[in-house]
Homo-oligomer: A and B are copies of this chain.
Amino acid sequence: MSIAGLNQVVKRMHFNQLLGIRVTRTHSDGVTIECPLRQELMNAMGVLHGGVTATMADAAVGISLWRHNNGSRPHTTVEMKLNYLAPVVKDRIVARARLVRVGQHLCVGHVDLFEGRTKRVGIAIVTYMML
């Protein structure tokens, strides 16, 4: 499934649309998604709200899984864990997800989060269940 095709899917995910998330790369084991920063996504201190980072982690694994299954199986997030390593203050937030386990019922993804292309600002583990 192409990047353009995935972005058609993302358009139907309302909250991802509200944030401005789009897929920018595909990999053998996952996808990279991005979201440009803007004031509505920030907290009171002028840094990106932790909820946006969490949304990126969740979405990056969900879209990776959607692509892996070619959209054939619905899934839902079971649990998520994020560590925030540095504040995100400019440019965009980027999430690179890797599927580390794709089982019959449970799938686990690991996510590296970046401010811009290279500054790592977080890591996450997300578990999905196939419905």
Q: Which residues of B contact A19 (CB under 8 A)?
A: 51
Q: Which residues of B contact A100 (CB under 8 A)?
A: 85, 120, 123
A9: interface (CB < 8 Å)? yes
- Closest-CB distance, A7 to chain B (whole angstroms): 13
A39: interface (CB < 8 Å)? yes
CB-based contact B83/A127 at 8 Å: yes
Chain A binding surface, main DSSP class:
mixed
A27: interface (CB < 8 Å)? no
A34: interface (CB < 8 Å)? no
A42: interface (CB < 8 Å)? yes
- State A43–B85 Cα separation when bound (angstroms): 27
A 110-126 binary contact with B (CB < 8 Å = 1; else 0): 10000000001001010
A 88-102 binary contact with B (CB < 8 Å = 1; else 0): 000000000000110
8 additional A-B pairs beyond A47-B76, A85-B100, A86-B101, beta carbons within 8 Å, are A13-B49, A14-B39, A14-B49, A43-B62, A54-B58, A78-B84, A85-B108, A110-B123
